[in-house]
């Protein structure tokens, strides 16, 4: 019984369905947070959740069961039967860029708070109308 359940979940198709459902669930949570939360830290957390959801979606769907990580090791001496390295490289780039943008945004928010004492998006109304 348990073995058949485990076997069912190990099929590549089922794993891909799970990843799609799960990452989109995470994306939903991030989007909900972005629309409903107004505190600046919460907004950044929500954006981070959306980002991570897209990363998991991409890496998870490009993953093939039975293939190894794209690097040589003790057991693998040729570049065959390996996972696609391009998604890994892309997500690596995207993670670093996302962090840079987050740090910059937080530094804007800190300076803005020091000047005006506002830390919520709906309070920001320095402009007219």
Partner 1 sequence: MNIKRDISTNAISSFALSALFVLTLLSILLQHIPQKLSSAGDKLLEINAQEGVANAVTTVVVYFRGFDTLGEIAVLFIASFGIGLMLNFQVQNNQNKVKSNFMLQLGARLLFPIILLFGVYVMTYGHLSVGGGFQGGVIIASAVLLMLVSSNHFQLSHRIITLLETFAGVSYVLIGLIGLIVLDSFLGNFLPHSASQLGLLLSGGIVPIIYIIIGIKVGSEMSLIVQNMLQRSDND
Partner 2 sequence: MSSIYFIALPLLFGFATPILAKFGKNGIAYSSILLQVALFVLSLQLFVTMDRSIIEVIAIAPPLGIGFVVNSISLFFVMLFTFFILMASLYYLKLRKLNPYPNEAKFFILINMLLASTIGLVLSSDIFNIYVFFEIAGISAYILSAYRKTPKALEAGLKYLLTGAVASIFLVFAIALLYLHLGTLNLALISQGFTALDSDIKLLISLFLLIGFGLKVEIFPLNFWVTDIYEGSDAFTDALFSAVVVKAYLFVFFHLLYLFLPNKEFTLFLLYLGAVSMLIAEVIALRQNNLKRIFAYSSLGQVGLLFVAFSMQDVISISAGLYILLAHSLAKMVLFLSLASLFEHYKNEDISLLKEMNSPFLRNVIIISMLSLLGIPLLAGFVGKFLLLKTVAFYGLFGLLGLLILSALIESIYYFKIIGLLLIKKETKEQFHPSTLQKFVLLVLTLGVIFVGVAPFAISDFMATSASVMLDTQSYQNLLLGAN
Partner 3 sequence: MIGVIILGTLMALIVIAFVAVIEPKLPDAIILSMGIGLGAVVLFVLFQAPDVALTEAVIGTGIGSLIYLMALKHLGERQ
Question: Which residues of the chain form contacts with partner 2 (CB under 8 A)?
Answer: 34, 40, 43, 47, 50-51, 54, 57-58, 61-62, 86-87, 90, 93-94, 97-98, 100-102, 104-105, 108-109, 111-112, 115-116, 121, 124, 126-128
39 binds, among partner 1, partner 2, partner 3, none (CB under 5 to 8 A by kind): partner 3
Please, which residues bridge with residue 39 across strands?
120
Cβ distance to partner 3 smaller for residue 73 or 129: 73
Q: Residue 29 and residue 52: Cα distance in Å, rounded?
A: 11
Q: What residues from 45 to 64 belong to the interface with partner 3 (CB under 8 A)? A: 45-46, 48-49, 52, 55-56, 59-60, 63
Count CB-CB contacts under 10 A for residue 96. 10
Report yes or no: 85 and 68 within 8 Å, Cβ to Cβ.
no
Question: Could you report how far apart the first and last alpha carbons of the chain are, in Å?
Answer: 65
Q: Encoding tokens for residue 63?
A: 């993953």
CB of 4 to partner 2, least distance (A): 30
């Amino acid at each position: 019984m348990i073995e058949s359940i485990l076997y069912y979940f190990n099929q590549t198709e089922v794993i891909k369905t799970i990843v799609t459902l799960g990452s989109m669930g995470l994306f939903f949570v991030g989007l909900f947070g972005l629309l409903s939360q107004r505190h600046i830290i919460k907004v950044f957390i929500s954006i981070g959740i959306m980002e991570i959801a897209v990363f998991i979606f991409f890496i998870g769907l490009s993953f093939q069961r039975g293939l190894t990580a794209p690097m040589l090791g003790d057991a693998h001496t040729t570049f065959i039967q390996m996972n696609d390295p391009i998604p890994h490289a892309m997500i690596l780039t995207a993670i670093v860029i996302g962090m840079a943008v987050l740090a910059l945004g937080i530094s804007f928010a800190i300076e803005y708070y020091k000047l005006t004492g506002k830390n919520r998006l709906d309070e920001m109304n320095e402009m007219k109308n």
